[in-house]
Amino acid sequence: MIEFEFDELFNGLDRSKKHVRESAKAGVTAAVYSLLDESRNEAPLDKGVLRTTAGTNIEVEGDTVTGEVFYSATETTKSGERVNYAVILHEMGEFKNPTTPGTRPKWLERPLKRDAKKYNRMIASAIKKGLK
């Protein structure tokens, strides 16, 4: 009779899965902070509110790691409505008179698209490093 105990195998697989998840979180975190830095350099700068309200959020849910960069500069309109003017500025066509040269709309979307491969490499590298 030949017997094989699966418990150790499954425990090892669980540990590997945990390491991959932790490593992926580290890679996503690095990529998100890189995107935050890049986007801040292109974000409009008047009083600095927009850049100082930027932030990040990293979540792990099951086998999914999600990272986001956000800008949340809100103002209250004359009618009392709260508006996130970061979204309005981001989606503008072009700034006619930017207060700071080099700033422009799509400051978050532009570096995300431009550097997507770099961010993927950062995540893959972190996972590879975590599995060693």
Q: What is the DSSP string of the chain?
A: ------HHHHHHHHHHHHHHHHHHHHHHHHHHHHHHHHHHHHS--SSSHHHHTEEEEEEEETTEEEEEEEE--EEE-TTS-EEEHHHHHHH-S--SS-SSTT--S-TTHHHHHHTHHHHHHHHHHHHHHHT-
Asked if residues 90 and 107 have their Cβ atoms less than 8 Å apart, the reply is yes
Mutual angle of helices 116-130 and 7-42, in 10-degree steps: 150
| CA 66/CA 32 separation, integer angstroms | 10
**What length is written for the chain?**
132
Q: What residue segments make up the domains of the chain, in order of their start?
A: 21-130
How does pLDDT run across 2-52, given as a tens digit for each residue? 556 656 655 665 668 888 889 999 999 999 999 999 999 888 877 777 888
How does pLDDT run across 40-83, given as a tens digit for each residue? 988 887 777 788 889 999 999 988 999 999 988 888 888 888 88
pTM beyond 0.95: no
| CA 85 remoteness from chain centre | 20
